[in-house]
Structures are given as C-alpha cells and as structure tokens.
Amino acid sequence: MSFEEETETTPLNELEQIEINLLLEGLYQKYGYDFRSYVRTSLSRRIIHRMRAERLPTITALLEKILHDPAYLERLLNDLSIRMTEMYRDPSFFAAFRNEVVPLLRDLPEIRIWHAGCATGEEVYSMAILIQEEGLAEKTKIYATDINEKALRSARKGAFPLEKMQQYTKNYLRAGGKKAFSEYYTTDHQFAYFHPIMEDNLTFAQHNLVTDGSFNEFHVILCRNVMIYFNNDLQQKVHRLLYNSLADGGFVGLGSKESILFMPPGLDYEEFNATERIYQKRK
C-alpha cells in the first residue's frame, strides 16, 4: 500500500491514540524500530490497515501479536516503510545531476554515494546506470540503505515489474540516458531483470536513519522523499546526520517537496540547484 493509495479513516479516539503510542513504544523497546517521530496521521492509517488485514479487534491485539510473532512484525514493517519509488523518479533531477554535479566529481580519486532510504532500489539502479554511462563506475562506490530488510532483498535482485518499463524508459530518456534502455535488462513474461551494474561497487545494507549513526564520509548523499514523513524534530536530527556524513564540498539531493529551510542551525549549504533540491556543503 502506498501513501497515495491510503484511504481516509475515521479520526482516532483517545483510547486508540493511546494504543498507537503503546504500539510504537513496543516496536522501539522490543526491536529497536523507532517510528515515534513519524508524521502520525499517515502512520496511524497504516497501523489501522494492518490491524484490519489481520482481522484483529484492537490495536492492542496487534501489538500483542507483534511482540510474540516475528511474522506479524515483518508485515507491519512492510506497511510502515516508505516504498514510493520508480526508476529515474523526477527525471529532471537526474538530468541536473548528470549535467551539473558529475563534472565536479570527475577529478575526485574516489567517489562515495549514499542512497539513504533506498526502498526497493529503483533509484539506486538509475544512479548506477548514470554513473556507468559517465565513465565513473570503476572509482565510484554506492551504498544503498533502508530500514526494511524485505525491501532490500528485493533491491538486491534488481527485478522490477515488466509493466513499468515503458514509463521507466521515458524517465530514462528524459533524464539524459545515452543508450537504448532495454540494453540494461532481460525480461520474462513478468519482470525485467537488470544486468549486474557496478556489482563490486554497489552495496545494499540495513540502516535506520532514526537510530543509527554515520558510517562513512560521502561525496553525494541522496535522501529523496523520505523526510516528508518525519516530524520537524526528526527532520532536524536526520539533516544533521546527513550533513555530518558529507565531505566538504559534497552534495545532498532531497525530494521535490523537501528543502533545507527547517534544518538545525550550523549546517552550511549552498543552493547548488534550488529547483531540483540539490545542495552543496560549503568547504
């Protein structure tokens, strides 16, 4: 279920709000997944959806199942995780990255890119193809992370629904793609299977933006359409994590509805391409 597909639900009563708080606290205390600072309206809809899908009478009953049965936990995490993505999503962003950022990366001896909140990997493969087409694959390492291990398993396979390839091809061409997009994958009757791209230099790993720290210094960090689901306090925390993980002169790319306006003080960025939400850390 995507955020766009969510249906309106009756506003939660006071008891249900208490139950939601207890469920989120239980998730954090038992498993370390911290959704407590996510935007509550959308999060509540997803929890209610899972409660009804499991045919349970209350949110408390869902919490009990989650605490004692990992299968229930995985299904809820799959609902709560942000998975809205597509290949070359916002093609103009990838075109700007190719034309404006890549020339400034060429002289680096090594390029490290972090996709934070990569979901099922469509935008990771998009960037890997772009980097390969620009002749930078051998010296570029891409680290793609997400909280959802199921999404990461899907991402590692590099298999995407065949029905989406027509739109993805349009996106690729609008993003400045240099080849026939079909050269990058094979198909069966159901999926497009992408060839190993930067296989030795592409790593998928679990990472929680809410609770985990920095793990390297990066020249590019992409965290697009993730923080719009966080409340202001959590946005500031994640902004600081990204900033501290970025090399001086490095670039951060945000989603079309995100900006640096609400960052905590002391984070010094230049608006490199304000339209495409690309910012450069001042040296």
Q: Is the pLDDT of residue 83 over 80?
A: no
The answer to whether the CB of 27 falls within 8 A of the CB of 35 is yes
How far is the first Cα of the chain from the last one, in angstroms, to the nearest whole number? Answer: 42
Write the CB contacts of 49 (distance below 8 Å, at least 6 apart in sequence).
1, 6, 79
**Which residues in the chain are classed under CATH 3.40.50.150?**
91-281
Q: What is the pLDDT of residues 151-163, one digit of tens each?
A: 999 999 999 999 9
Give the full edge-to-edge strand order of the sheet including 269-273: 202-206, 140-146, 111-116, 218-223, 246-254, 278-281, 269-273
Q: What is the pLDDT of residues 196-215, one digit of tens each?
A: 999 899 999 999 999 999 99
- Is this model's pTM higher than 0.75 or not? yes
The answer to whether the CB of 158 falls within 8 A of the CB of 125 is yes
CATH superfamily of the domain spanning 91-281: Vaccinia Virus protein VP39 (3.40.50.150)
182-186 LR contacts (CB < 8 Å, sep 24+): 184/129
Residue 103 structure tokens: 């020339």
Q: Where are the alpha helices (DSSP H) in 200-278?
A: 232-244
Distance between CA 134 and CA 131 in Å, rounded? 5
pLDDT, averaged across the chain: 93
- Mean pLDDT, residues 209-233: 94
Distance between CA 37 and CA 43 in Å, rounded? 10
Give residue 261's pLDDT. Answer: 79
Residue 85 structure tokens: 């993505």
3-state secondary structure of 2: coil
Distance between CA 269 and CA 272 in Å, rounded? 9
In the numeric block, the tokens 């809410």 are attached to 210
Question: Residue 196: in which H helix or E strand, if any?
Answer: none
Q: Is the pLDDT of residue 15 over 80?
A: yes
Q: What is the pLDDT of residues 35-57, one digit of tens each?
A: 999 989 889 999 999 999 999 99
Give residue 26's pLDDT. Answer: 96
Q: Is the pLDDT of residue 175 over 60?
A: yes
